[in-house]
Structure 1
């Protein structure tokens, strides 16, 4: 906001109070302009001129000017006073209109810079910042042949596709732009897509992370082509194909090793996944005759949609994830990579004994249970589980994140037990 000194305001009012015999012959010399305060941009002065070409815009801007510029409102009141000699000159009106226009331009530029800053904070590579600015018209159909629909969401649909060059199958997630544009959270939605792509690019190359094969954009949609995991998700396997709702110890070890290796990889690159759970663990293939038999090579982690970059000493504070797998420190809004280790412990608890470690009839009760209830690994459901498996779960579910080992430490400490999932 411009700060108008008392001296400058008096100078303007003095000029306005001067008798004007023939208003139509007012000289074109510029009217003295109130000087901006010490914190205002010097570019304001460059936009102020004596030209009267903006005078026609006065009527359309009048209400906005009166609401935003007290000096303008005061001058308008002078026009309605009993003295017919007080008139606002065209040049002064031009100055006021131009000042407001300049302030609006600066506000828009500041908002744009803030959004660009947010995009840079959530991007890791120069290429990632260009996502969502791809040339319109790049055809996904040129490289991929589309097959049946395999999933859908509020503004996206996932289809099975096949590479025209290699014949390799993949999954294409198509995000409807109009669905995003109609959203009240437009900017958050676009930044969320950009962030997910940037993190997927940043964490690419690991054998247990679902890889991004390509990004395409056309006039109506954004297409993300990723690895196709024909075995579906771990949650579906446990809930529909295993009668007792749990895995054998070797299969659980396979899942644990793959997930911990992914966490060690992404944590080392400064990323917190924030939503580790069976629904985000995919299986490359599935033996229908023995669905409970899994190996480490068969497991991949997906869905970096709510992942965030992390800097040591600067904890994350946003409440995010799935409550059943949420760490106590996430509920307290002060957390880091250790929250992913907790989620892994909850998932292993569920896979090994067939039930979640914490429960509640309401969200509040569930949150209280997560923060206060100690786990019990001595019940009948744990009778056939090895000591190493129980110890791994117990360490992952330490209430204090400082007592929780890192993913890399768990891989080193329980290497022998995790080897059960290698299939050899």
Structure 2
């Protein structure tokens, strides 16, 4: 009985420590999203002052997509090899440099140069890795959805704060404020995040692998696990149209809805509130009650209908109505696909897998701005919604006929 009591006490202590680390990671994520959305209140308006049109704004966003597309898998591999603290420290430090370069941007070329540090700006995938490492597989989707709650908080605070600061004090002050905020995030990482969050029992296999961060074989090896490739294909094909709309939203808000910086901040804050409610109070119970496959199919079908509604939206009011099902479907889609992917690989490779998953989103950001800019300038914003409707309806019907196989968590 004494030994059992000691084991129980040790288990409770580890659980409490894991919960503390996860809560700090939630805070770091919320702060990171706050600074990113603060930046979104600066870049489009600064770019316009420097002579960018819609097409060049698309090129600027495509640049970020390409850089993070290349950096995502490598960063994930780096996180698996060197641990959570080092990975998050690198991501936060890169964001500080990103904001400092934005603060001194006074030429169109500088707007492209300041995007270079985004190759390492992967706080969210690193946070997802920590949460994945410290939670049981059956609780993973719920825990990952709480990161979405942090995303909503950051979206609200960052958008409103960015809009206010940009309107009152200008782009330079706002960018410097973001740099200082990221220094605070870095201090939290150094103080509270352990060197590694991997299960000690998995370290032996990881240490026997090639230590090269740029070992493409170790990265692409994960695609051979059962269920990974089909899930990736669904994530890319179904996510591309909605990804186009997301990356074009700042342009649509400025050009189509004629929103000023502060108004745009309020709009983004509204989006954040909706996402916060969905991921904080709705998504968790759904993941307990329904299978991941069913939730994935439902989210794709709903995204298709949202695209049709977006195509015929002409006012800010009706867009605010459509935002609710739009954020719900996107939240379910992203959380469920990430959960399915991390369950398909050994726990020692979750960072690399989440880096690959982030690269899918960055692939959409790479193709999306150029495609979205072309569609918007030649066919109007309704064309983006109609393409989303058609593509997601095809994927929805396909998954109804041939659903993805249920993914069981892999053990070492």
Query: Is the shorter-chain TM-score for this pair beyond 0.5, marking a shared fold?
Result: no
More helix as a share of residues: 2
Rg larger in structure: 1
| TM score, norm. by length of structure 2 | 0.30
Answer 1 or 2: which has greater strand percent.
1
Structure possessing the higher relative contact order (Cα contacts under 8 Å, 6 or more residues apart): 2
The alignment's TM-score, normalised by the length of structure 1, stands at 0.29
